[in-house]
Structure 1
Amino acid sequence: MPLVPRPLLLLSLLLLRTNVTAQEPSRGHELVQRRVALPQAATGNPVELHIASGSLTALEFDSSVDRAGVKLGDAKDSLELFVVNDRLVMIKPTSDVTAGERVLLTVPFADGMSPARAVFALVTNATQVDVQVQVSRLPRSAEAVQAELDEVRAACAGKDAELASLRARGAATGPSGMILAGTMGSEGVRAKEPTLQPMKLTDGLKADRVTAFRGTGWVALSLMVANEGTAPWTPTEARLSPGRSRAVTVTMKEPYVVPKGMARVVVEFRGEDWPEGSERWVELRDSTGERRLLIPSLVF
């Protein structure tokens, strides 16, 4: 069966909270759930489990345990058998086990079948603590394995469909993407070409023509930028003043505006209210901040 949060884990946490002598769980430890298959593990070394002071470690078995035969090795002063019943063994560390030390926990089974017992090595770990361990001793039927596989496949198929839907939604561009993103409503997109005041060159740059586009919660400016300087120029950031709104995108088709050339630059701003007819200053800068394009008065 899948290793998922179960009533056993809730019981463990409840016991930890309600026991008056329990310590706070160790900080920085990841709480781990595990499954252990004994037919494979019992033929080799003891199964290593990570424990930590202040956290219960619960072992759930699929066959009956010989409760009287459950034994905890040395270091009993730092470990306690907190709960032992037919299918459940809980270990409560009362203090940290010395680093590098292994405390053996032996759990015999009551039915005499093989393997006759399970042996675990309890050790400390700096980052993890095993809070729930499902111990499988009896062989699983092919039907049970197939049923679990079918369940996992069904879950994966559902996730694949959800992922495909999210990818399609994220890949939508143009009007479809704007409608899905809520940036275009019933009013559509409005555009106008504001009148530009005579401009002086700023660091060898000027805007020859500007078109302003408006949607729901956003403004985009399309600027034809002329580079009268001797070096190429690539804008990477833009701002509107007053308010100092930063552009969310600054895009071009070309990699830069060539010297003595012209290229279109589109900048997009979001998240503020820009009343129609409002006056703004527009400033574009390159990545070094050494060259900038300044439009001192733009009404859009």
Structure 2
Amino acid sequence: MSQPARLVLTLVLVWGTATPVAAAQVERAVRKRSVVVASSPADALPVVRVARDTPTVFLFPAPINRKTLTFDESRIHVLDAGERSVIVQPVADLAEGERYEVGVFFADGRAPARAAFSLVTDPAEVDIQINVQRPELAGAACPVDEPRAPQPEDFVLLGLVDKEGVSATPIKGYADAGRGFHVQSAIAYRGKGWVLIDARVTNFSGQSPWLPREAMLTGRVGLPLRARIVMADTTAIQPGEERPVLVVADLPQLPVSPVFALELVGDGRTLKIPNVRFPKAASGATP
């Protein structure tokens, strides 16, 4: 057993013996079990038995994204969440027929991407350790590094969108005949701690193929902000071809005067788009 696993189990055993009065009132047999997470949303969730006086530790086979942990705070306490473990304990024993779900996404994005469990209280037994296993999906003899398609709820679970939502504003078209570029249309988006520019870039006929490799946002004050480039087609933009180019940057706080110049540095040429303005935070939501 690894050192972190020993530490977690020690904590569970200490907490489990810290309430002798409750233990005397309801004596349950303690269990350590292995459970396999559901392969798809249509499958039933594995059942885990919890009790008010006993913490239950989940040990995962791969790192988890702690920001995506979901549970009912009014009924379930999360005592600790680590890179590969979560410790839970109900506020009170759950009544017969009462079930509460606890779920979390794995950090690697492989299928099944989410581990979820149905918590119940059993008068005779309680699980103190759950060794979580991921099923080998049919037809997947070899690992396939193919990410799960993003879902709308992921943006909230990952903290990319909050009550202010996402705001957007258009960017004026821009042409640089000297360097052989035309930005026909562009939109600037702003979310929680991030900004994104969606630009449609045309490489003029007669020019050489061009692929943007570095992106930087330069404001009137402060240091340049390095951004990352995202393209569905990562080959060079051919002469006469138009291609969408996404530029993403982390920007926790928007400057008072949020006007930037966007530079896309590529093969032998640099596209510079001036007067990029990011919108203010959306104001339609209410607490």
Fold shared, TM-score > 0.5 on shorter chain: no
TM range (shorter): 0.3 to 0.5
TM-score by length of 1: 0.40
Structure having the higher helix fraction is 1
Determine which structure has more spread, i.e. the larger CA radius of gyration. 1
